[in-house]
């Protein structure tokens, strides 16, 4: 074989390498494997082109060019072959007799195709043999050291490398030349690396480039193995956990089956998760519930924290997050329900119907909260129940009487033992819907102490602009209260804090007249108590005189609560009588109740009907007062005695009432020489002491409306002129004798009616309030409108004996 050396450029770049030009064309043998120098591979040739090429190589000295390809060996063109391959030699060959040849071929050096010669049977090529780069410097030494280091790491992590290759790589040392090192490593990695990567190594002619390429391959493979190991570890752990859980669940089912329990039922944790997802909570609440459920799974079952978390999740899932009732508001039906449930109360009913009409039009009313204010027993709570019935809402009641802890409204934080949500959240859970009618009863009875002010906490609850994000301290998530219809009740308006009162629309529900009480007893209370006590409604009759006797002699109230109680007492005694008749087999007779039989059943009358004085008296004037229980009649007494001109006040009077008495005395002294009703010498006031007493001394009394009554009583005591017994009065007095308007006119007038007092003095400015008095009441009374004290004395004091 004739060879000659020359220097040839590899490409247009500045890199050059020495080549040896082979003058004889070499047969080209395509291969799916990459042949490296110093590598021996056994081949089996059966295709016609391969057999012809190997025979030609054997006949011409045994040399050939092996070029790798990515295409199918059966249909190859020169463009399908890589440009750089391996100049090789046939070491041994055997003719198998069936036209195929087995041969051992070894790689000698890299070679580059110059051009191809197309034969009829196989492909030939003129090539340039690329000798090995024998350069050696510090950089190459460092690259060799790095390559050896990464090779060691590679061998520690690789698993699918053949044993022969693994052992061969293990024996490699840094004593080999860079060319031998790279060729040996490439030879052993031939079965491991992708053919594309093998070809890149083969084409790296420069030794530094080849070393760097192998280092990159090792580093990349090490990283891949590391990631695979991590993934495999995670998968193994996950699969192991799943298998363990599956095994334990199966064991648990078997144990439950042995215990006679249904293994198909969900576990507590699975059941809780299902309930959380089914509750349709807000996103914030669901996230919180699932987070607490994960905590519950990780805590030992014997831990005290388990009960706390379980209780918290139970509260979250039991709240009506997405449950609501259909609000079907029919104004005619609502009016019918209000008339069925309540007699009289025309103004409150009218305002309620207006409220419901607006609610129907806007669907979601962001308006004032209704507040029913009135004496006990007038029907405030039952009105709220009727509204709930008319709107189709669930009804829930919360009594605020005696509440003094802010946590009652907002709940306790979960850090406390036995903590619970506030009563607002408890009420919604009880209502089982997110849009109930929520009655806050006795809102005027709240108080405050060192634990906070519950009325301040109610400000958020009753504010339509804020309550859509009400946050209970226990739940720690927002709950929307904007769909809840809040109604509050109270007995005394002044006891409701002003900021809270500002958020509510006040609807005053005054006391009932005697006529209204009579009708309520006939239409509602008597049928109810007859049924409750097992009496025949048809055969038990209350006469009008019986009802009026109960109202006048056994009750004295603005509402009808005690009236119902006394009727119930009568029914129980009648029931006892009926049972005795059955036992003695007496013939069944109807029971008719009159005033006499009522007194026999109820005993001695508790009140004297008509509290007016029986005769005109000196120093005694009848006043009218407004209390939490409605209107009431006060007999104010005044007397004089020798002294030094002092004023004594008794009867547990408040500061305002005491100041009114002092103002009245100052008025009297200033008018001593002016008014004919007084006409007293000035020294009278320095020689006499005046004592004013208001009976029922254990009951606190306050307010300015008794001013004219105390002035009248003092004038009567000083002048020894009697006051009319059939005259009641109310009004505030000033130092100049002006009579100022007062409140609670209707309640006070009803109290006068109950006391059978026909003449009433009221301030001139209260004339407008007389429109609230029922016509049947106005007919019975004479109203005297006054604007100064002179007129009061003219009307009340009897000048001639």
**DSSP per-residue string spanning 412-459:** --TTSTT----HHHHHHHHHTSSS-EEEEE-GGG---BTTB-HHHHHH
Whether residue 15 is predicted with pLDDT greater than 50 in this model: the reply is no
**pLDDT, position 619:** 92
Mean pLDDT in residue range 99-112? 88
Of 658, 637, 733, 648, the residue nearest 688 (C-alpha): 648
The answer to whether 342 touches 385, Cβ cutoff 8 Å, is no
**CB 75: neighbour CB atoms within 10 A?**
7
CA distance 628 to 699: 12
CA distance 343 to 341: 7
Sign of CA dihedral 320, 324, 325, 331: positive
Q: What separation in angstroms does the CA of 115 have from each of 19, 56, 67, 130, 588? A: 15, 19, 13, 16, 137
The answer to whether 545 touches 594, Cβ cutoff 8 Å, is yes
Q: Is 776 exposed, middle or buried (0-12, 13-18, 19+ CB in 10 A)?
A: exposed
**CB 398: neighbour CB atoms within 10 A?**
20
Confidence of residue 270 (pLDDT cuts 50, 70, 90): confident
Whether residue 55 is predicted with pLDDT greater than 80 in this model: the reply is yes
CA distance 454 to 645: 48
Mean pLDDT in residue range 531-555? 89
User: HSE-up of 593 (CA within 13 Å, CB side)?
Assistant: 26
Per-residue DSSP letters for 651-674? Answer: SSB-HHHHHHHHHHHHHHHHTTTT
Alpha helices, H only, 118-267: 138-157, 163-170, 178-188, 195-203, 207-258
Map residue 84 onto helix, strand or coil. strand
Sheet containing strand 395-399, edge to edge, reads 395-399, 437-441, 485-490, 369-373, 504-508
Give the least confident one: 308-322, 457-471, 573-587, 632-646: 573-587
pLDDT in tens, 738-773: 999 998 898 888 888 878 899 999 999 999 989 888
CA distance 388 to 314: 28
Q: Which residue has the tokens 């009016």?
A: 335
**pLDDT, position 443:** 92
Whether residue 174 is predicted with pLDDT greater than 50 in this model: the reply is yes
CA distance 204 to 189: 16
Rounded to whole angstroms, the maximal C-alpha distance in the chain is 169
The pTM (predicted TM-score) of the whole model is 0.59
Instruction: Report, as residue numbers or ranges, the catalytic residues.
Output: 705, 748
pLDDT in tens, 211-268: 888 888 878 888 888 887 787 777 777 666 667 777 777 777 777 666 665 555 446 7
The answer to whether 616 touches 798, Cβ cutoff 8 Å, is yes
CA distance 795 to 789: 10
Whether residue 411 is predicted with pLDDT greater than 70 in this model: the reply is yes
Mean pLDDT in residue range 782-790? 93
pLDDT in tens, 423-471: 999 999 999 999 899 999 999 988 877 777 888 888 888 888 888 889 9
Which tokens go with 411?
A: 């709940």
CA distance 489 to 752: 26
Map residue 168 onto helix, strand or coil. helix
Mean pLDDT, the chain, whole residue set: 83
């Amino acid at each position: 074989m004739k060879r000659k050396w020359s220097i040839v450029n590899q490409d247009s770049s500045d890199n050059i390498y020495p080549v040896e030009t082979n003058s004889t064309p070499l047969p080209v043998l395509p291969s799916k494997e990459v042949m490296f120098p110093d590598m021996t591979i056994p081949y089996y040739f059966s295709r016609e082109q391969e057999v012809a090429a190997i025979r030609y190589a054997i006949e011409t000295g045994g040399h050939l060019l092996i070029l790798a390809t990515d295409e199918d060996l059966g249909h190859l063109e020169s463009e399908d072959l890589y440009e750089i391959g391996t100049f090789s030699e046939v070491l041994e060959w055997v003719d198998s007799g069936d036209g195929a040849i087995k041969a051992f071929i070894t790689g000698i050096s890299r070679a580059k195709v110059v051009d191809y010669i197309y034969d009829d049977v196989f492909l030939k090529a003129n090539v340039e043999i690329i000798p090995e780069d024998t350069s050696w410097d510090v950089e190459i030494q460092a690259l060799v050291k790095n390559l050896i280091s990464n090779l060691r790491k590679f061998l520690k992590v690789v698993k699918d490398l053949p044993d022969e290759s693994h052992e061969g790589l293990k024996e490699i040392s840094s004593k080999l030349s860079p060319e031998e090192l790279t060729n040996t490593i490439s030879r052993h990695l031939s079965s491991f690396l992708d053919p594309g990567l093998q070809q890149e190594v083969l084409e790296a002619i420069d030794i530094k480039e080849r070393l760097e390429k192998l280092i990159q391959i090792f580093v990349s493979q090490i990283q891949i193995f590391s990631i695979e190991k991590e993934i495999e570890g995670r998968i193994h752990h996950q699969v192991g956990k799943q298998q363990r859980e599956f095994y334990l669940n199966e064991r648990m089912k078997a144990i439950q089956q042995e215990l006679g329990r249904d293994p198909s039922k969900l576990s507590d944790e699975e059941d809780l998760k299902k309930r959380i997802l089914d509750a349709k909570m807000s996103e914030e609440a669901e996230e919180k519930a699932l987070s607490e459920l994960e905590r519950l799974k990780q805590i030992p079952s014997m831990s005290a924290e388990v009960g706390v978390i379980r209780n918290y999740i139970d509260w979250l899932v039991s709240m009506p997050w997405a449950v609501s009732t259909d609000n079907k508001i029919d104004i005619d039906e609502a009016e019918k329900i209000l008339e069925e449930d309540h007699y009289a109360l025309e103004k409150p009913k009218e305002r309620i119907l207006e409220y419901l009409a607006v609610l129907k039009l806007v669907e979601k009313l962001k308006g004032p909260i209704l507040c029913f204010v009135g004496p006990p027993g007038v029907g405030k709570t039952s009105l709220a129940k009727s509204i709930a019935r008319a709107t189709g809402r669930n009804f829930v009641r919360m009594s605020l009487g005696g509440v003094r802890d802010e946590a009652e409204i907002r709940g306790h934080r979960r850090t406390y033992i036995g903590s619970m949500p506030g009563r607002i959240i408890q009420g919604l859970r009880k209502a089982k819907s997110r849009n109930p009618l929520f009655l806050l009863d006795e809102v005027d009875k709240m108080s405050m102490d060192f634990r906070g002010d519950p009325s301040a906490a109610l400000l958020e609850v009753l504010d339509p602009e804020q309550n859509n994000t009400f946050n209970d301290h226990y739940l720690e998530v927002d709950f929307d209260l904007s769909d809840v219809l809040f109604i509050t009740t109270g007995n005394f308006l002044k006891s409701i804090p002003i900021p809270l009162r500002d958020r509510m629309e006040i609807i005053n529900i005054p006391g009932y007249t005697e006529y209204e009480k009579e009708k309520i007893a006939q239409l509602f209370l008597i049928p109810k108590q007859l049924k409750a006590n097992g009496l025949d409604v048809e055969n038990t009759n209350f006469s009008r005189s019986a009802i009026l006797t109960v109202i006048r002699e056994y009750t004295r109230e603005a509402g009808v609560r005690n009236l119902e109680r006394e009727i119930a007492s009568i029914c129980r005694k009648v029931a006892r009588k009926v049972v005795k008749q059955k036992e003695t087999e007496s013939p069944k007779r109807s029971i008719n109740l009159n005033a006499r039989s009522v007194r026999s059943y109820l005993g001695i009358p508790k009140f004297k009907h008509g509290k007016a004085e029986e005769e005109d008296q000196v120093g005694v004037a009848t006043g009218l007062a407004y209390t939490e229980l409605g209107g009431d009649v006060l007999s104010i007494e005044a007397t004089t005695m020798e002294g030094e001109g002092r004023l004594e006040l008794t009867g547990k009077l408040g500061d305002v009432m005491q100041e009114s008495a002092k103002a009245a005395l100052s008025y009297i002294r200033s008018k001593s020489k002016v008014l004919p009703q007084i006409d007293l010498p000035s020294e009278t006031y320095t020689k006499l002491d005046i004592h004013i007493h208001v009976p029922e001394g254990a009951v606190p009394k306050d307010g300015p409306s008794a001013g004219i009554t105390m002035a009248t009583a003092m004038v009567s005591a000083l002048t020894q002129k009697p006051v009319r017994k059939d005259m009641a009065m109310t009004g505030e007095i000033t130092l100049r004798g002006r009579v100022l308007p007062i409140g609670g006119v209707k309640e006070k007038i009803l109290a006068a009616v109950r006391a059978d007092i026909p003449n009433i003095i009221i301030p001139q400015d209260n004339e407008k309030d007389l429109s609230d008095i029922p016509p049947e009441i106005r007919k019975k009374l004479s109203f005297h409108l006054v604007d100064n004290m002179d007129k009061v004395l003219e009307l009340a004091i009897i000048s001639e004996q």
